[in-house]
Amino acid sequence: MIKITVSASKEYDVVMERGALSGIPALMEEAGIIPGKKLCIVADETTNRLFGGESCDLWQALAGAGFDMYRYVFEGGEKSKTMNTITGLLNYLADNRFSRSDMLIALGGGIVGDVTGFAAASFLRGVDYIQIPTTLLAIVDSSVGGKTGVNLDAGKNLAGAFWQPSLVVFDPYVLDTLSYDAMLDGIAEAVKAGFIGDRAIIDEINALTSAADSDFLTEIAARAVEVKRIVVEEDERDTGSRQLLNFGHTLAHAIEKLSDYRISHGHAVAMGMVIVSSAADALEWSEEPCSDSIWTILTRFKFPLDYPYSARELTRAALADKKIRGNEITLVIPRIVGKCRLKTIPTDQLEGFISCGIQQLEQLKGKDI
C-alpha cells in the first residue's frame, strides 16, 4: 500500500492499493468516517457501469458496511462540466434530504471529481466528499489538492471552490479498462509534475515500456502526488507557487476551448508544454534545453501533435480567459527538467512567444531525436 498524507486546510490520506475499492470501509473508518450516514456515489455513465453498480465491489462493500447508498449519474465529457450538472446534483441531494453529516463520493476521472467536489463545497455550504479516481489523470493530478469547479461559456474552470476531500482512494485495477488516449492524458499530467518538481518522474516515464503497466504507472502517480502535496501545502489557494502546476495550461485551456472540447485536457496540456518549452529554449529562458525531453516522450507514446491553431488564434483564446488580469500574463517556464519558475510578460508579447515556440517545434519535428 502507498499512503501519502496531505496537510492542507484539511488533513487527508491518498491511498493507492490493489483491491482498495472492496476494502474501502476500513480506509474510511481510519479516516473517521463511520457507517450509518447517507453516501451518494457520483459517476458518469461509464464509471457507473464499470465500478458503480449494485453488484460492483464498491457498492457491495459500502452497503454491506451499513452506509445508506444513493447514486447520481450524469453523461460524461467536458460538455457536462457545467452549472447545469451541479444544479441537477444539488437538487438530487436536497430531494433525498441529505444533511451536513452525509457525504458524496466522486467515482470517475477529473470531470466527475471536479463536479462532485464543487457540489460538495456548495451543498448546505459544504459537505465532505471522497475522491475515487478512475483515470490516470485523476490519480496523478485532479483528485488531490481540492481544486474543484466547472466551465462557463467564457472558458475552462471559471466557477469553482477550493474544497479538500476527506480521503482519496485509488485502486490500480481501474486502469485496466482505460483507453489508450485517456492513458496519454494522465501521462501528460505526470510529465508536468516531473517538470515542475521531480526529474525522476521523467526518467521513469522514459523507462516505461507499456502504457498498460498499471503497477509502474501507480509508482509514477505516487511521485506526482508527492510533487502536488508539496505545492498544495505551500500555497493551497493558488496565489503563488501553486501556479507552477499550470505548466502548459494557459495554452491547454485555449486549445481545449478552440477545439470546442474535442481535444481532451491531457492532450492539450501536452501541446501546451511542448510549445512553451520550445519557446523557452529558443529564447534561452531555460538553463538547459528542455523541449527535447518532452518531445521525446510525446513522440514515443504517439501523442497526436499536429497543431491545428495559429499563434494568433491561440493568443486570442488565451487572453480571452477571464482569469487574466490587466495587461500582463504569468507563464510557467522550465528552468531545468524538474524545476520551473513563473515569468510574467506583457500580454502584447504573448503572440511572439507562442509563435517562437511553434517555429522551434517545426525544427524539432524535422529532427530525429
Ligand X SMILES: NC(=O)c1ccc[n+]([C@@H]2O[C@H](COP(=O)([O-])OP(=O)(O)OC[C@H]3O[C@@H](n4cnc5c(N)ncnc54)[C@H](O)[C@@H]3O)[C@@H](O)[C@H]2O)c1
**Comparison of 149 and 357: residue with beta carbon closer to ligand X:** 149
Compute the least distance from the CB of residue 179 to ligand X, in Å: 6
3-state secondary structure string, the chain? CEEEEEECCCEEEEEECCCCCCCHHHHHHHCCCCCCCEEEEEEEHHHHHHHHCCCCHHHHHHHHHCCEEEEEEECCCHHHCCHHHHHHHHHHHHHCCCCCCCEEEEEECHHHHHHHHHHHHHHHHCCEEEEEECCHHHHHHHCCCCEEEEEECCEEEEEEEECCCCEEEECHHHHHHCCHHHHHHHHHHHHHHHHHHCHHHHHHHHHCCCCCCHHHHHHHHHHHHHHHHHHHHHCCCCCCHHHHHHCCHHHHHHHHHHCCCCCCHHHHHHHHHHHHHHHHHHCCCCCCCCHHHHHHHHHHCCCCCCCCCCHHHHHHHHHCCCCCCCCEEEEEEEEECCEEEEEEEEHHHHHHHHHHHHHHHHHHHHCCC
Minimum gap (Å) between residue 200 Cβ and ligand X: 21
Comparing CB distances to ligand X, the nearer of 101 and 179 is 179
Task: Give the shortest CB-187-to-ligand X separation in angstroms.
Answer: 11
Q: Kindly state the smallest distance separating residue 272's Cβ from ligand X, in Å.
A: 12
Query: Euclidean distance between the first and final Cα of the chain, in Å?
Result: 38
Q: Which is nearer to ligand X, 76 or 272 (CB)?
A: 76
Q: State which residue has the least CB distance to ligand X.
A: 110
The least distance separating ligand X from the CB of residue 196, rounded to whole angstroms, comes to 13
Nearer to ligand X, 112 or 358 (CB): 112
Minimum CB–partner distance for residue 161 and ligand X (Å) = 11
Nearer to ligand X by C-beta: 147 or 257?
147
Q: By C-beta, is 260 or 368 nearer to ligand X?
A: 260
Q: Write out the residues near ligand X by the rule CB under 6 A.
A: 44, 46-47, 50, 76, 78, 81, 108-112, 114, 134-135, 137-138, 141-142, 145, 147, 157, 174, 177-178, 182, 185, 265-266
Of the two residues 161 and 342, which places its CB atom closer to ligand X in the complex? 161
Closer residue to ligand X in complex, CB, 163/285: 163
Least spacing, CB of residue 44 vs ligand X, in Å:
5
Interstrand relation of 68-74 and 38-44 (parallel, antiparallel or unpaired): parallel
In angstroms, what is the minimal distance from the CB of 323 to ligand X? 13
* Helical pair 265-282 and 350-366, crossing angle rounded to 10 deg: 90
